[in-house]
Structure 1
C-alpha cells in the first residue's frame, strides 16, 4: 500500500505547471483516512518533493500537504506536528525562469504558514480549524489561563496566513490559485476559533487580575487589527471568483470597545475597586444623534444579543456576562465539510434599512440595563470614525519558517 501512496504523491507533484490532479489528491485522502495505514511514508515522500529546485514541484508538494491537512484524517497533521522540523524553505529561490522569481516569494510565505499550522497543532494538541465550535466548543469552554496561552498561538498562525498577501493579478496559475483557495478555507475556520476565543475572553475580562487584563487587552487590540486585514484578504477572494455567498461581510464594530477595556484596566492600576463610569455596557450603546430623521423598519441591525443575558453588578455599574454579539461572532456559521446549518436556527441579523438624514443606513438593536434585567431597545448608531475596528456579519442572504515577515 506504500507504493500506492508513493505513486499518488508523485502524480500530484509532477513538473507540469498546473494544480495537483484531483484524482491523485483523492487517492491520497483515501490512503490517510485508512486507520491501518502509516502516514510517515507519505509525509517522507512529500517532504522530499518539497526539496526540489523546481518551483513547480515544490509548490505542488506544499499544496498537496495542505490539502491533506484540510481534508484528510487529523492524524496526518498530528504526525507532521511531531516532527522536529517540517519545511526549511525560507531561502528558496528558483532562478531558472522568470515566473520562478515571483512564485518563490509565495512558496516561502506558504511554507511558513504550513510550519506555523503544524506548530500550532503541536502546542494546542489539535488542529484548531477542526475544533468543535459553539457555546460548548473548545474555545468557549477554556478558562482564562488556557485562553491566554492559546490565543497568541492562533494569532501567529493567522498572521502567517494573512502574510501570503497575494493580489488577484498575482494568482496567475492553477498552483498558486489552489494554494489561495486552501488558505481561504483555513482563514474562515481559523478566524471562527479566534473569534470565539475573544468572546470568551471578553466574558471573563472584568473578573481578571490586572496582569491578565493587560494580556487580554493586547490580544483584543491585535484581534481587531487582524480583522481589518481579513477584510482585505476576503476582498481578494471575491475578486478571484469565490462565490459571494461564501464570503462573510465585514462592517464596523463599536469604536469605543477598546476604550472601555482600557479604562477598566486603568481603574485596576489605580487600585480602584469600583468600575469607571465608562464601562463596557456604555461602550456598546453609542450616543443618539441630535434630532435624527429616522424611519424604523422591522429588520434587525448587525449587532444583536441573541438571548436574554445575565448581568453582573459591581460598583454600581452593570457588566454583561454574555457578549455573544461582540465583536464578530461566527460561531456555527462557517461549515466547510460539516453538517449544514438549519437556516431557521441561524441567529445572524439582517442589514438594516433604517434611514438617517444624510443617507446613512445604520441601526443598532441592543439591550440596555437599568437593573439586572436587560430590556430591548432600538438605538440609532452614529457613523463610526474611519479606522475603527470591524465586525463580521453575513451577507443579506442566509447560508451558512522562519525568516518571513510578521505583523506587529
Structure 2
C-alpha cells in the first residue's frame, strides 16, 4: 500500500477505544518513523495534526487506566517527533554526528533555532516517566525500548549542539548570549532527568554496556573549554 494509505490505516487504529489496539498502533508508527522509509515520517510531518489522544481513557479493563496514561504521554512524544521533523526538515536522531556532524558545524542562528526544538522533543520523551513496575506487558515494553534508543540518539545531537554553543559563546551578540545561557541551564536539568530515565532502563533489563554514564556529562562538556559550571555561569552573567 502507499505511504499515505498505511498512515491512514494506523491512524484509524489509534482512534480505537481499546488501549491494546491504540498502543500497538503507536508502537508500529514509532517503529516506522525510526526504521521505515523516510517518506513515512515526511508524510506524518505534513499533516496538520497527528494524534489527539490527550483525553484517551480505556475504562473497560483495570489495566486500561494505567496504560491510558502512557498512551497519552507516548502520543505526545510522537506528535513532537513529527513536528520537529516539520520544523527542521530532518529527524534529529538520524543526522550525522561527530566533530564534522550537523550540530557541531551549524551556524549560531540555526543552532539557536534548532536546540529549542530538540529540547521540546526531549521533554516529551522523558515525560513518558515509567518505572520498571509499570512496564508490565510486551506492548509498553516495546514502546519503552524505542524511546530508550531515541533518547540516546537525541541526547547525542543535543550534547553536540551544546558543544557548538559553548565554542561560539564569546563571539555571540548580547541577545544571543542570553538565549544561549537559558538553553544551557535547561540542558543541565535535562541531563539529570535522562540519568534517571537510564536508571529505569537498567532496572528494566537493558544491558549496562548499552547505557552511557552521564552523571558528570555536563561538567565534562565545560571542562573541554577550561571552566567549571559555576565559572561559566558567572562569566555568562557578566557577558549578558
Residue 68 of structure 1, CA deviation: 0.5
Aligned to 2:119, what secondary structure does the other structure show? Answer: helix
Q: Give the structure with the higher percent helix.
A: 2
The equivalent residue for 1:67 is: 31
Q: Measure, in 1, the Cα distance between the counterparts of 2:55 and 2:238.
A: 48
Residue 267 of structure 1, CA deviation: 2.8
Is contact 1:217–1:261 with CA below 8 Å preserved after alignment? no
The equivalent residue for 1:322 is: none
The equivalent residue for 1:43 is: 7
The equivalent residue for 2:204 is: 240
Q: Measure, in 2, the Cα distance between the counterparts of 1:56 and 1:136.
A: 43
Give TM-score, length-normalised by structure 1: 0.56
For residue 262 of structure 1, the aligned residue among 224, 233, 237 is 233
Residue 225 of structure 1, CA deviation: 0.6
Residue 134 of structure 1, CA deviation: 1.1
Is contact 2:192–2:215 with CA below 8 Å preserved after alignment? no
CA distance change for structure 1 residues 188 and 96 in 2, over 3 Å: closer, same or farther? same
Aligned to 2:96, what secondary structure does the other structure show? Answer: coil
Aligned to 1:139, what secondary structure does the other structure show? Answer: helix
The reply to whether residue 183 of structure 1 matches residue 147 of structure 2 is: yes
Is contact 2:195–2:215 with CA below 8 Å preserved after alignment? no
Structure 2 unmatched runs, 5+: none
Q: Measure, in 2, the Cα distance between the counterparts of 1:211 and 1:116.
A: 27
Give TM-score, length-normalised by structure 2: 0.94
The equivalent residue for 2:16 is: 52
CA distance change for structure 1 residues 244 and 268 in 2, over 3 Å: closer, same or farther? closer
Q: Give the structure with the higher percent strand.
A: 1
Q: Measure, in 2, the Cα distance between the counterparts of 1:98 and 1:78.
A: 37
For residue 131 of structure 2, the aligned residue among 164, 167, 180 is 167
Structure 1 unmatched runs, 5+: 3-37, 270-408
Q: Measure, in 2, the Cα distance between the counterparts of 1:266 and 1:121.
A: 33
For residue 224 of structure 1, the aligned residue among 181, 188, 191 is 188
The equivalent residue for 1:300 is: none
- Residue by residue over 1:262-310, the C-alpha shift from the partner in whole angstroms, topping out at 9 and shown as x without a partner, is 33333335xxxxxxxxxxxxxxxxxxxxxxxxxxxxxxxxxxxxxxxxx
Residue 260 of structure 1, CA deviation: 2.6
Q: Measure, in 2, the Cα distance between the counterparts of 1:102 and 1:121.
A: 30
Q: Measure, in 2, the Cα distance between the counterparts of 1:262 and 1:248.
A: 26
Residue 217 of structure 1, CA deviation: 0.7
Residue 74 of structure 1, CA deviation: 1.5
Would you say how many aligned residue pairs link Structure 1 and Structure 2? 233
The equivalent residue for 1:355 is: none
Residue 141 of structure 1, CA deviation: 1.0
The equivalent residue for 1:374 is: none
Aligned to 2:128, what secondary structure does the other structure show? Answer: coil
- 5 Å-filtered alignment, 1:255-294, equals 257-269=228-240
Q: Measure, in 2, the Cα distance between the counterparts of 1:236 and 1:263.
A: 34
The equivalent residue for 1:144 is: 108
Any runs of at least 4 consecutive aligned residues in structure 1 with deviations exceeding 4 A, and if so which? none
For residue 250 of structure 1, the aligned residue among 195, 214, 234 is 214
